[in-house]
Structure 1
């Protein structure tokens, strides 16, 4: 499979040095003449990608923002959001042991022009290289649960984030989103319908919404 040797630029992002090195070694065998650079934090990944303008980014989902900070999926998610916004034609492979939280990026993935492949970390190196080749071809591959699961709108995710991460009430959410309060209430209705949360005697509907949103990976 070492025939795909046309000059390519690749950035590999992973905070685990052993995984980083094995990924780079596998890519060097597949893309003999490729220029491969590495990053171990989200901040250094953005810097490397801005500098090298790569054809492909291979990104671990759980990353630290800066050296010495803990690895968190939310950091990887934000990095991916930024990359898709700034580099709409960048081919991306995301490596993750638990891809459920990537459902939050579904609208952005659907709009992304470049390849976008989600690769389970349990894949063999050969299988991972196949996914890399798919990304290079501009293909999109997401797990089955993302293809058949919830259809999520960006404004719903923002309501969930503001309510459950920042603890805001509807009026404050409306102000932050620059919409009417009734629009926020409409978003709640849509979210709750998508999550299968309906009025139930003795249960707090907002709390039930939070529980279901966490189960579906929409919030941490």
Structure 2
């Protein structure tokens, strides 16, 4: 009876990372702590979704710098989209994000706060002992997002972005695609005046004094990009 029970509760861990060397190192470390656990790995977001559906892991250990499919370029946006999809469909799944890009998680902090399962984060430079401790916390359902709070530089902006999520789209169009306000307005189906108001909301939340910058001859859009990147809103 006990042997059957042990088989039922065998730990299932899914590793998701775009680099084989990271997958192999993590798998070896996890095996030292959970020798009877079942560990599988994947390098893409799409395959990870399929493995979650078919395998129902107890824990995901993942980077957010991922390609959607093999052969595609890895992006933090892909990882964030994947993470949001997973949290929405599997609200009690335990998640450990280990990435050099953890500050990007501020973009989805409301979803993380609502997540019912364990959710922990760490940079990839943590020691093996620290990592094992963090994994143990995730499996116990702990939430450890101190790293997000630490880089939560401009707290007001996230409250405002919760009300105006299109500002994230504006940032992407402006700084990732290089569009000007007229083209941005067309993309998000608003007037140029509304786009300017979004810029004002964003700059106020980031603590940017446009009048002062003009007096100093500083490019406001470039300065906004710098502040937005520091806040984790763009790559």
Decide: shared fold, TM above 0.5.
yes
Aligned residues: 217
Correspondence for 1:150: 154
Do the aligned partners of residues 157 and 43 (structure 1) sit closer, same or farther apart at CA in structure 2, a change above 3 Å counting? same
CA offset digits 1:73-116 (Å, max 9, x no partner): 33322222222222222211111124222222222212222221
Mind listing any 5+ residue stretches in structure 1 that lack a counterpart? Answer: none
Pairs within 5 Å for 1:103-118: 103-118=106-121
Pairs within 5 Å for 1:1-220: 6-144=9-147, 146-147=149-150, 148-151=152-155, 152=158, 153=161, 154-168=165-179, 170=181, 173=184, 177=188, 184-199=195-210, 200-201=213-214, 202-220=217-235
Measured after TM superposition, the shift of residue 37 of structure 1 is 1.6
Mind listing any 5+ residue stretches in structure 2 that lack a counterpart? Answer: 1-6
Do the aligned partners of residues 141 and 155 (structure 1) sit closer, same or farther apart at CA in structure 2, a change above 3 Å counting? farther
TM-score for both structures, normalised by structure 2: 0.77
TM-score for both structures, normalised by structure 1: 0.82
CA offset digits 1:152-211 (Å, max 9, x no partner): 224432332233334455566566556676655443323112212121223443332122
CA offset digits 1:13-71 (Å, max 9, x no partner): 12322321221222233234333221112221111112112221100222222223343
Structure (1 or 2) with the larger CA radius of gyration: 2
Query: In the aligned structure 2, how far is the partner of 1:25 from the partner of 1:50?
Result: 24
Quote the RMSD (CA, aligned, Å).
2.8
Contact 1:104 1:218 in 2 (8 A): yes
Contact 2:16 2:63 in 1 (8 A): yes
Query: In the aligned structure 1, how far is the partner of 2:30 from the partner of 2:148?
Result: 28
Query: In the aligned structure 2, how far is the partner of 1:179 from the partner of 1:90?
Result: 38
Do the aligned partners of residues 84 and 176 (structure 1) sit closer, same or farther apart at CA in structure 2, a change above 3 Å counting? farther
Query: In the aligned structure 2, how far is the partner of 1:110 from the partner of 1:177?
Result: 28
Query: In the aligned structure 1, how far is the partner of 2:101 from the partner of 2:109?
Result: 15
Which region of structure 1 is more displaced relative to structure 2, 91-100 or 186-195? 186-195
